Amino acid sequence: MVNQRADVGWQSSKSDSSGVSNSGESSKESSRCSTPVLDADRTDRLRDKMKRRIESGDRWFSLEFFPPRTASGAVNLISR
């Protein structure tokens, strides 16, 4: 049994031994990844936090980095 996300909630579909889904969707559509949705509440909270820090006059900075691709890259990042 496979759970699939629908607009109104979770629905499940069963596949028979041939791998054909009976959920009414084509296999091409059901195998696609869903598009991530921006969480407006989370964005607003971050925006509010940044605004408060700026208005307070505190010094602050934002640090961004790309995660290491290999285990040795992770060791190198942590060891610095």
Name the one residue in this structure whose structure tokens are 């598009």.
Answer: 35
Write down the catalytic residue from 25, 29, 55, 64: 64
User: What is each CA distance from 35 to 22, 25, 38, 79, in whole angstroms?
Assistant: 23, 17, 10, 36
* Structure-token pair, residue 22: 């009976």
Assess whether 25 carries a catalytic annotation. Answer: no
Report the catalytic residues.
64
